[in-house]
Amino acid sequence: MKIVFDQDRPIVDAAEIAALLELDVSGFQDLMHSGKIRSIVERGEGEDEGKVRLTFQSPQWRVRLTCAPDGEVLTVTRAACSFP
């Protein structure tokens, strides 16, 4: 998996993230638009300078991608969770 950056904004393939959240693309998009999936972009500092961490949290799962400066996904973690 590789993330593309457009002027420092990450662009992700909805199908890849949806699958990690156990959703179809339409369901993923609906939950994103309704605010039921939260997303966070964090940029590394110090020894992690240039790396980017993307987190997607649905009512059931939290998926975190850590990316190299060129967008290559270095790690993917997924954990069961819940939020109100």
Q: Distance between CA 56 and CA 41 in Å, rounded?
A: 9
Instruction: Write the pLDDT tens digit of every residue in 8-29.
Output: 889 999 999 999 999 999 999 9
Of the pLDDT bands very low, low, confident and very high (cuts 50, 70, 90), residue 39 is: very high
User: Domain limits of the chain?
Assistant: 4-80
Alpha-carbon distance of 39 to 17, in angstroms, equals 11
- Chain segment 56-66, per-residue pLDDT in tens: 999 899 999 99
Percentage of residues of the chain with pLDDT beyond 70: 96
